[in-house]
Every structure is written in structure tokens, then in C-alpha cells.
Amino acid sequence: MTPTDPSFTQQLTTRPTPVAERQAMLANPGFGNFFTDHTAIVDFRADESGEGGWYGARLEPYGPIALDPAAAVLHYGQEIFEGMKAYRHADGSVWTFRADANAARLNRSAVRLALPQLPEELFLESLRQLVGVDVDWIPSGDGESLYLRPFMIATEAFLGVRPAREVSYRVIASPAGNYFGGEVRPVDIWVSRNYARAGRGGTGAAKAGGNYASSLAAQLEAEAHGCKQVLFLDQANDNAVEELGGMNVFFVFRDGSLVTPALSGTILEGVTRSSIIQLGRDRGLTVTERTITLEEWRGGVASGEITEVFACGTAAVITPIGRLRDGDEFIGAPDSAAGEVTMSIRTELLGIQTGVVEDTHGWLTRLV
């Protein structure tokens, strides 16, 4: 195949998950617990000069990956991934949201992690192939979808520190409900003072597994303090708010305007983040990407200038933030209700994704 040939071969499972078992999983999917029957795969090989191409596009039964113990991903973490969702519409058709943005981000991450870029046609076709055969795995409850996890790993068996010349791109799928479990309700957030997620020139803007690995010690600290997620600051820059462990942050101000931290090279450019910026502007709201410090958060909540704060991401959609906990200090009220603006943007975004609100920006791509 040529580097951009998107034709896949299909080897379907001879042992699909029994219907009753699948239905039990779909009845209460949670997040990231269950996986569909197949996986899409495309491999890459380069020669010593770095020239190479993608080959062997195929659909296989879901199962363990055979990796050489010396595979570079296991030693140097050369890995990137994406998070997307497939939504079933009322007429039975299945759509995904802003796939072009995810394809572009995967390739920006690939450049940063010295992995090969994947042609957008291959990316899209891998989603079509997988969702096409595992279409019965899409849950249909409110806010539910099939989470798609494209990822790329360095498979070459070589312990020298250089970009691997053998790489595998794969997609798995997982029925998904609310990321935080149960109904949508405000979550409390822990301010990380001991750990940073990213630094200037680092990999913070890439969707690389290592960023998430480095967030886990802080996440444990958050949980030990009764919080669901951790907030990372740029402590060298007036405690500028960056992002949560795996989500961007938005502030709603009293005048209805929205503020989100500017992309500084250390923050992940969330597809949900950029969609909310657009939807806010469509509503005539002022939406600003700028530095917002912990001090402004504290002061704004105390004065009533900041009326709502929410987290957003593909997995979390839009999740209201309740209290922020900084050591022994709490910012915000306990048991606060989800904000009106937060929930109305959430409803609009989910409405577009599930086909009940008009997609005026052409964000949806049909998969099935």
C-alpha cells in the first residue's frame, strides 16, 4: 500500500461478546471499563534515513498486543493518543465530532514525540472501520456515547535513545457514560502545589501518555484530600491556572463573559475547549483566552465576579467545578449546584453531537 492508501483488511472475531453480556455493560458503562470486540491497526516502518510509510491497515479481534520487551514505548514512553466519541442519532446513523481537529492534533503530538504523522484519510478510515463493525456497542442514554481511543506506540526493539523506526497506530473503543460516574454534579478540585504538569518547551501541549503518568501522583494527593481532580498551576508565572489532570478549565463571569487560560505551549488544546469558545461567541458572549491566576479565581469567587467554573474535555464533556481546595483553604461553597451557563452550554454541545441541535459549523462526520 502507498503511505496514504486507506484500504483495510478485516479479520472479524469468531467469539463476539454474547449479547446479554454486552447489554449488561451498556446498561452501566461508566468510563473506560469495557472494550468492544475489535481494534483497528496500521503499522509504520522507516529505514535508517527516516524515510518510511504506513502499511498493513487492518481490523482485528480486540486482544493483547504482542510486543518485544525491548520495544521503545516500554522504556522511553514514545506514545501519543487521542480521545473522541461516536454518537448514535435518532435515525440510527452514527457520527463523530470534529475528527479533523483530532487528526491534526494527533499529528502535532506526533511531531513533538518524534513519531510519524498519520494521513488524515487513514485516521478517519480507522474510525469508520472500527465503529462500522462494533456499532452495536454504542450506548444511547443521556450523555452516553462510544469513546474512541486512537493511539500510537513505538514498537521497535532497540534500547538506544532515538526515535523508533517501527511504530503501530491503533484504535480501541469503549462504551462511555459520565466520566465521574453517576449523574453530572459539581466536582471538587485540588490545587497541586507539589507537582507541575508541564514546563516551557516540554510536552504539555502534546497528548502524550507521559503527561498523564506525571499527573498521577498529584491526582492521588487530590483524592487523599477528598477531591476528584487536580488543578495544575504555572507556579513560575503568578500561579497562572493551566489545566486539570485531563481537562481544560473555563470561568463564567457575572457579565456573562467566558474566560479560559490561553494556550501557552504547556496546555493541551482541547477540541471541547475550542468548541466552547465558538459556541460562546455564537451566543454573542465575550470569550477571552488569557492568563487567569489562582488569585483572580479566589478573589472573583469571593466578590461574586466569577459565578461559575467548569471543566471540559471529550471524556468529561462539561463538568461543573464545585469547590477548589488549596491546602486547608476552600474557594467556593460546599454543595454548590451546577451553574446555569455551564449546563446550558453542555446541553447545546451534547445536542449538536447527538443530532438534536443543528450543526451549523459542520463539525459532525458520519461514520455509519
Binding site for ligand COI (CB under 6 A): 83, 212, 246, 313-315
Q: Could you tell me the smallest distance in angstroms from the CB atom of residue 192 to ligand COI?
A: 16
Q: Could you tell me the smallest distance in angstroms from the CB atom of residue 302 to ligand COI?
A: 30
Decide whether 55 or 212 has the Cβ nearer to ligand COI: 212
Q: Which residue shows C-alpha cell 440510527?
A: 92
Decide whether 117 or 319 has the Cβ nearer to ligand COI: 319
Decide whether 165 or 228 has the Cβ nearer to ligand COI: 228
Q: Could you tell me the smallest distance in angstroms from the CB atom of residue 282 to ligand COI?
A: 22
Which cell numbers hold the place of 197? 504538569
What is the Cα–Cα distance from 50 to 47, expressed in whole angstroms?
Answer: 5
Decide whether 222 or 331 has the Cβ nearer to ligand COI: 222
Backbone angles phi, psi at 302, to 5 degrees: -65, -40
Decide whether 178 or 239 has the Cβ nearer to ligand COI: 178
- Residues paired with residue 151 on neighbouring β-strands, in sequence order: 81, 170
Residue of minimal CB distance from ligand COI?
A: 83
Residues in the chain: 368
Decide whether 158 or 212 has the Cβ nearer to ligand COI: 212
Q: Could you tell me the smallest distance in angstroms from the CB atom of residue 4 to ligand COI?
A: 26
What is the Cα–Cα distance from 262 to 271, expressed in whole angstroms?
Answer: 14
User: Residue 313, Cβ neighbours under 10 Å: how many?
Assistant: 21
Please choose, from the candidates 105, 43, 62, the residue with its C-alpha nearest in 3D space to the C-alpha of residue 80. Answer: 105
Q: Could you tell me the smallest distance in angstroms from the CB atom of residue 85 to ligand COI?
A: 8
Decide whether 39 or 211 has the Cβ nearer to ligand COI: 211
Task: Give the containing element (helix H, strand E) for 364.
Answer: strand 364-366
Buried b (16+ CB within 10 A) or exposed e, 43-64: bbbbeeeeeeebeebbbeeeee
Q: Could you tell me the smallest distance in angstroms from the CB atom of residue 228 to ligand COI?
A: 13
Q: What is the CA radius of gyration of the chain?
A: 21
Q: What is the DSSP string of 88-146?
A: E-TTS-EEEE-HHHHHHHHHHHHHHTT-----HHHHHHHHHHHHHHTGGG---STT-EE
Q: Could you tell me the smallest distance in angstroms from the CB atom of residue 81 to ligand COI?
A: 7
Q: Could you tell me the smallest distance in angstroms from the CB atom of residue 268 to ligand COI?
A: 8
Decide whether 57 or 222 has the Cβ nearer to ligand COI: 222
Contact 113, 202 (CB under 8 A): no
Q: Are strands 187-191 and 145-154 parallel, antiparallel or unpaired?
A: unpaired
- Residues paired with residue 59 on neighbouring β-strands, in sequence order: 10, 40
